[in-house]
Amino acid sequence: MSLEPKHYQDAVIAIAHEAGRRIMAIFTTDFPVATKDDQSPLTQADLAAHDCIVAGLNRFEDVYPILSEESALLPYETRRQWDTYWLIDPLDGTREFINKRPEFTVNIALIHEGYPILGVVHVPAQGCTYVASASEGAFRLSDFGRRDVIHVASLHHQPLKVVGSRSHGTPELSAYLNALGPHDLVSIGSSLKFCLVAEGQADIYPRMGPTSEWDTAAAQCVVEEAGGHVVDMGGNRLAYNRKASLLNPNFLVYGDTNFDWLRPSSS
């Protein structure tokens, strides 16, 4: 890898914070909600954050392509030529934002050869940011200047602590949780689910339902640099820009490897 992702880290954090300020300025208002073609919600905050992030990334000396949830999607014939690019979700957890829950995030990732090498997950309503770059570890930053190293937990929660989505339960997830055995399920929105695993507050986040690549990339970098794993149901590391569809397969996010998360009924 020739480029140094840490070189961009502080600047990307600053961009995410500015996007967060723009989001929070709208959060406190009575904003309208539109509906996109896929029936997902869209607010002024999504667009304001998108514009802020794109403008910020385009000011870098090295300008890489940008793929955002709120931009026109390019054909795979174009995207497949990208060796390095930015992958962003300007406002992850729009439903939480609409419902005035402080569980939405700003996600910015730098992808190189199919995997995230820099990830920033900013939580504007909670005053914290999760950040990681390849081979540099993972950190939780507070808006007051505190910087803590984070790491996944050894398997010590009894029962297991599982984190999941409020609004995306599926029969496959129910079957997986039944096989998992005794557990406590904490429901939370956005990429914060990854971050709870990364900082050792949860053992696993199983996702058996649709997500897009911009939903996961930044937080995957944080989890992996914190010592965790993000894999599909075949145990393969989650990869990016390898196919025409931008939908992820079902996946697991976990820390401790002394448990067979892929086949929990056998553990």
Q: What is the pLDDT of residues 156-198, one digit of tens each?
A: 678 999 999 866 668 889 899 999 989 999 999 999 999 999 9
Q: Looking at the predicted structure, is the pLDDT value of residue 132 above 90?
A: yes
What are the residue ranges of CATH 3.40.190.80 in the chain? Answer: 160-266
Q: Looking at the predicted structure, is the pLDDT value of residue 74 above 60?
A: yes
> Which of helix, strand or coil describes residue 252?
strand
* CB neighbour class for 131 (10 Å; exposed up to 12, middle 13-18, buried from 19): buried
The per-residue DSSP string of 144-174 comes to TS-EEEE-PPPS--SSEEEEE-SS---HHHH
CB 68 within 8 A of CB 89: yes
CA 77 vs CA 69, 81, 116, 244, 245: distances in Å: 18, 7, 21, 8, 12
Residue 266 to residue 204: CA distance in whole angstroms = 17
Fold classification of 160-266 is: D-Maltodextrin-Binding Protein; domain 2 (3.40.190)
Residue 176 to residue 254: CA distance in whole angstroms = 14
Res 168: pLDDT: 61
CB 35 within 8 A of CB 140: no
Question: Among residues 238, 227, 192, which one has the least CA distance to residue 89?
Answer: 192
Q: Which superfamily does CATH assign the domain made up of 6-150 to?
A: Fructose-1,6-Bisphosphatase, subunit A, domain 1 (3.30.540.10)
Question: Per the structure block, which two tokens stand in for 99?
Answer: 């419902």
Q: Looking at the predicted structure, is the pLDDT value of residue 130 above 70?
A: yes
The pTM assigned to this predicted structure is 0.95
Residue 176 to residue 214: CA distance in whole angstroms = 25
Q: How many residues does the chain have?
A: 267
Res 124: pLDDT: 97
Question: Per the structure block, which two tokens stand in for 39?
Answer: 């029936």
CB 53 within 8 A of CB 106: yes
Region at 114 (left for phi over 0; alpha for psi -120 to 50; beta for the rest): left
pLDDT in tens, 199-240: 999 999 999 989 999 999 999 999 999 999 999 999 999 999
| 3-class SS letters over 55-78 | HHHCCCCCCCCEEECCCCCCCHHH
Res 72: pLDDT: 75
pLDDT above 70: percentage of residues in the chain:
96
What are the residue ranges of CATH 3.30.540.10 in the chain? Answer: 6-150
Question: Among residues 86, 141, 130, which one has the least CA distance to residue 106?
Answer: 130
